[in-house]
Amino acid sequence: MEKHCTDSRVKGVSTGTTILAAVFDGGVVIGSDSRASVGEEYVSSKTINKVIQVHDRIFCCIAGSLADAQAITKAAKFHLSFHSVQMESPPRVMAAASVLRDLCYKNREELQAGFMTAGWDKKNGPQVYVVALGGMLINQLVTIAGSGSTYIYGYIDAKYKPNMTKEECLQFATNALALAMGRDNASGGVAHLVVVTEKGVEHVVVPGDKLPKFHDE
């Protein structure tokens, strides 16, 4: 009689995405694709907005477990709202990134999520921070993450310039997301982009059929 052996180990859930944030002259652009997937085979949603507003001029992008990321950003919003009431002024971008770092570090054994935080404040202007798995915090001019990011490191290194205009940075971010979404089967949908400057916040959505194409698909 044939015997079937079952592996008792539970296979980990891997998720895919492409997220990006970049500083330009006077502001920041932060963006992502919109596909939520389970592993690399099942697309659970095509319309997830991974760019989350945690305060008026501060946004974060999420990568990893969506449930973990949503729980952390919800807690971060509460902390930053309370902080702004106490200080009687909007929180700094660094403060928001530090809140996310502390939440990630305190729950590092249970979480499978990383973040990038971008925004503008009166003291330091436009800023981008990366909060990696485990709670490491890094300040960068441009950063990418997610499964799709592995396809565009060369493009980012070759094309990014810190003194770009808003229009140039938007095109740079759109091109980068389009390249990643064209190669990574765990990234896709539309490109969600947010521009944050001293003047305010601008939301830009680029539909999948309007994204630039660099190869035959």
97 contacts 59 by C-beta, under 8 angstroms = no
Length of the chain: 217
The amino acid occupying position 94 is: M
Give the three-class secondary structure for 144.
strand
Which residues, including other chains, have CB under 8 Å from residue 141's CB and lie 6 or more apart? 22, 23, 128, 160, 162
State the residue for tokens 């807690």.
75
Contact between residue 192 and residue 34 where contact means Cβ atoms under 8 Å apart: yes
Write out the catalytic residue numbers: 17
Quick one: which of 123, 125, 118, 52 has its CA closest to 89? 123
